[in-house]
Amino acid sequence: MSFSISQIWATNAFAVVTTAGITIPPGVQIVWSRTGSFVDGPTGSTRPTIFQNLVAWMPIRVQGAAAFPDAWLGKKFTLAMYSGTTLVLQSGPHDVPPNGGQNIDVSWLWLMSPYLSTRPAAIPFRWAGDFSWRLALAASGAHPFPGA
């Protein structure tokens, strides 16, 4: 199955100053797109995002396209972000687009603690590094966290 991301937005809760000296105000920010190369600075990202973590989910939106297998039609998928083999963010189940549609639009991903691999946890903590994204077929009635 092929899968590509076209754009990722995140919502800063606070203004931040990048390592390049650029002030990014609170609000929705594009943190990745195909047309923008956001090169990291020597001490961190030049597009940092700071969330007010009062809940376990993150105000992140991911848009892209996927060639879903026919066997997935009528089912649900999840989108997850990994750092190496460690799960960082995971969506709840979303409907596979009907009739072979390919556009995906996923918002509000659940944040995984680096200390607990099965549920969200209190912060502070931070994830940094290179991330990979994966689509997976959701188990029937699946949700990222038990009891959520």
Q: In this structure, is residue 83 part of a structural domain?
A: yes
Number of domains in the chain: 1
pLDDT tens-place values along the chain, 148 residues long: 778 899 988 888 888 777 777 788 888 888 788 876 666 666 656 666 666 665 567 788 999 999 888 888 889 999 998 888 888 888 888 889 887 678 889 988 887 765 555 555 555 556 666 788 999 888 765 555 543 4
Q: In this structure, is residue 143 part of a structural domain?
A: no
Residue among 78, 70, 18, 76 at smallest CA distance from 49:
18
Residue span of the structural domain in which 37 resides? 3-121+129-137
Q: In this structure, is residue 51 part of a structural domain?
A: yes
User: Rounded distance, CA 24 to CA 26, Å?
Assistant: 7
SS (H, E, C) 79-140: EEEEECCEEEEECCCEECCHHHCCEEEEEEEEECCCCCCCCCCCCCCCCCCCCEEEEEECCC
Q: In this structure, is residue 148 part of a structural domain?
A: no
Q: In this structure, is residue 146 part of a structural domain?
A: no
Q: In this structure, is residue 144 part of a structural domain?
A: no
Q: In this structure, is residue 147 part of a structural domain?
A: no
Q: In this structure, is residue 145 part of a structural domain?
A: no
User: Rounded distance, CA 142 to CA 67, Å?
Assistant: 22
Q: How far is CA 21 from CA 17, 31, 51, 91, in A?
A: 6, 16, 20, 33
